[in-house]
Amino acid sequence: ETGVTQTPRHLVMGMTNKKSLKCEQHLGHNAMYWYKQSAKKPLELMFVYNFKEQTENNSVPSRFSPECPNSSHLFLHLHTLQPEDSALYLCASSRSSGGGNEQFFGPGTRLTVL
Amino acid sequence: QKEVEQNSGPLSVPEGAIASLNCTYSDRGSQSFFWYRQYSGKSPELIMFIYSNGDKEDGRFTAQLNKASQYVSLLIRDSQPSDSATYLCAVKVPPGSNYKLTFGKGTLLTVNP
């Protein structure tokens, strides 16, 4: 266990549903990230939060809406998704100041959009 | 475009051999380099990081960095079947990207008993 937890681990949703992914880190980190991992593609950074402030939105469609209420929790709200959004969604955290920015990943949520 | 390139493999080695995984990157300003291991169906796990030119050893793993050649590698000595996984190379590029890593597509390693 890396100290980063994600729920749910698996999610199947229709294109008209609204759902949320949750991430929690117990490492005392201040930066949190959402990544998307699709088959045969590199990990794609979606969003970065540092001290609860969003510092990066990597041109993510608005049907993905992040929320970071505090440095330990991160959410990804999903609505009107497309089948091509089916992927493994990974949350990660790291220290926010200097250092090597070692990121530690949660177990991921396997999302299937029907 | 900041890129990180890895051979996708699969790289197949016999048990006990040395596995050599390679990664090149395009941004000369890259500062920090990371190797993650990802088992099938699991999330990436950090196994090594290196910041300075040269070698860094941790148990059976050695990371090698050559900034002049924009090349970083991971050597796994005495490879075990449990080392079979996809290995991801990640690079931190400055400036204005203190919290961002760019990942390669990964190299699939298979260690045969």
- Kindly report the three-state secondary structure assignment for every residue of chain B: CCCEEECCCCEEEECCCCEEEEEEECCCCCCEEEEEEECCCCCCEEEEEECCCEEEEECCEEEEEECCCCEEEEEECCCCHHHCEEEEEEEECCCCCCCCEEECCCEEEEEEC
Tokens 């099938």 belong to B40
Task: Give B100's contacts in chain A (Cβ within 8 Å).
Answer: 45, 48, 56
User: Residue A87: pLDDT above 90?
Assistant: yes
Tokens 């998307």 belong to A36
Token pair of B11 as six digits: 């790289």
Order of all β-strands in the sheet with B71-76: B4-6, B19-25, B71-76, B61-66, B54-58
Q: Which residues contact B47 (CB under 8 A, 6 or more apart)?
A: B35, B36, B37, B58, B61, B74
User: In this complex, do B99 and A33 lie within 8 Å of one another by their Cβ atoms?
Assistant: yes
Among the listed residues B30, B2, B10, B24, the one whose alpha carbon sits nearest the alpha carbon of residue B89: B24
User: In this complex, do A102 and B49 lie within 8 Å of one another by their Cβ atoms?
Assistant: yes
User: Residue B97: pLDDT above 80?
Assistant: no
pLDDT at B3: 87
pLDDT at A99: 52
User: In this complex, do A90 and B44 lie within 8 Å of one another by their Cβ atoms?
Assistant: yes
Q: How confident is the model at residue A22 (pLDDT cuts 50, 70, 90)?
A: very high
User: In this complex, do A50 and B104 lie within 8 Å of one another by their Cβ atoms?
Assistant: no
Distance from CA of B52 to the nearest CA of A (A): 11
pLDDT at B9: 83
How many A/B residue pairs have CB atoms within 8 Å? 57
User: Residue B87: pLDDT above 70?
Assistant: yes
Task: Give A41's contacts in chain B (Cβ within 8 Å).
Answer: 105
pLDDT at A58: 83
User: In this complex, do B44 and A94 lie within 8 Å of one another by their Cβ atoms?
Assistant: no
For residues B28 and B80, the answer to whether their CB atoms sit within 8 Å is no
Q: Tell me which residue in B46, B51, B100 faces A104 most closely, judged by beta carbons.
A: B46
